Amino acid sequence: MSAARSEGSSDPREIVTTRYFDAPRELVFGVFTDGQQASNWWGPRGFTTTTHAQELRVGGEWRFTMHGPDGKDWPNLISYRELAHPERLAYSHGDFEKVHFEVTVSFETEGQGTRLTMRTLFPSVEACEAVKKFGAVEGGHQTLDRLTEELARAAKKGAFVIARTLAAPRELVFRCWTQAEHLAHWWGPKGMELSVLKLELRPGGTFHYAMKAPGGFEMFGKFVYREIRAPERLEYIVSFADAQGGMVRHPMAAGWPLEMLNTVTFREIAGRTTLLLVCEPYQASTEECRTFEANFESMEKGFGGTFEQLLAYLAKL
């Protein structure tokens, strides 16, 4: 497959990735070019980045090391060829010995947000095809997912943020998130069996569900919908519940917020849907907010597993 061509390139040596961000162009450009912030989002999931030196100017360099999830280090060198703040960036990217590809990034204001287009040009068709086989296209989407999260965190202090880009049209992803016959196949932590007890998809309506673990342990959850704007946005209050739909405390964490506000946005570009979920405590105490923030790592793993189930389910449709 060639995701490059699906996003508008006629050059077989080129990979093109496009993403819309709900953030002003100046902020997107600033975060994209800040080597210190890069440690929060640069690279595919599981990678971290250490910046050694950066001179953000034409002719300047950014020297950094990417640390893979397997413990391997990858030295990187970016040499800036063009810098037109805040609309365009061009650079050569390689290691400390040779250049591997050329990158041009454009930042366009679109409505209240920014459309970023990254064009990565390789020296040959063979070189481009080789990196695709090693997951470069998916890695690029994961990197921009992480940038989506970083920008959302900047806008929502204290919120848990997670993004995924799914190889499916937005209307289908939205249906999977809002219809009982779909939710039963993927919603919830890995290993849990989900039963939809009630679903009223309307403002003020509820989604009441049961989750059963292999050992027989059962717990319940509930959404109360506040906004439904198909197929682009959902907003709902989420809480743990009892079998009758009444609100209860977290069964394993008494200090957890009683309610949380979830906002989910769905945006499609070139047949792929970027899903962004922002979760924040709702009418919570200071201590509950601290408990919530202390558990971001476990939430990342939990939602990560849930989204893996969604990806697998979408692949069957």
- In the chain, the percentage of residues whose pLDDT exceeds 90 is 92
Q: Which pLDDT belongs to residue 9?
A: 75
Q: Write the pLDDT tens digit of every residue in 288-310.
A: 999 999 999 999 999 999 999 99
Q: Write the pLDDT tens digit of every residue in 179-225.
A: 999 999 999 999 999 999 999 999 999 999 999 999 889 999 999 99
In this predicted structure, the answer to whether residue 141 has a pLDDT above a threshold of 80 is: yes
pLDDT range class, residue 1, cuts 50, 70, 90: very low
* Amino acid occupying residue 250: H
Q: Which pLDDT belongs to residue 250?
A: 93
In this predicted structure, the answer to whether residue 4 has a pLDDT above a threshold of 50 is: no
Average pLDDT of the segment spanning 128-155: 95
Q: Which domains does the chain have, with CATH numbers?
A: 3-154 (3.30.530.20), 160-316 (3.30.530.20)
Q: Write the pLDDT tens digit of every residue in 228-266.
A: 999 999 999 999 999 999 999 999 888 999 999 999 999
Q: Which pLDDT belongs to residue 10?
A: 86
Q: Which of 47, 266, 262 is nearest to 165 (CA)?
A: 266
In this predicted structure, the answer to whether residue 2 has a pLDDT above a threshold of 80 is: no
- In the chain, the percentage of residues whose pLDDT exceeds 70 is 97
Contact present, 222 and 239 (Cβ < 8 Å):
yes
Write down the mean pLDDT value for the chain. 94
Cβ neighbour number for residue 191 with a 10 Å cutoff: 12
Q: Write the pLDDT tens digit of every residue in 120-136.
A: 999 999 999 999 999 99
For 262: left if phi > 0, alpha if psi spans -120 to 50, otherwise beta; the answer is beta
Q: Write the pLDDT tens digit of every residue in 18-37.
A: 999 999 999 999 999 999 99
| Cα–Cα separations (whole angstroms), residue 141 to 14, 28, 44, 145, 147 | 15, 16, 8, 6, 10
Partners of 206 in the β-ladder: 224
C-alpha 59/C-alpha 165 separation (Å) is 34
C-alpha 140/C-alpha 277 separation (Å) is 20
In this predicted structure, the answer to whether residue 272 has a pLDDT above a threshold of 70 is: yes
Q: Which pLDDT belongs to residue 7?
A: 60
Residues 6 or more apart whose Cβ sits within 8 Å of residue 272: 141, 165, 166, 167, 168
pLDDT range class, residue 143, cuts 50, 70, 90: very high
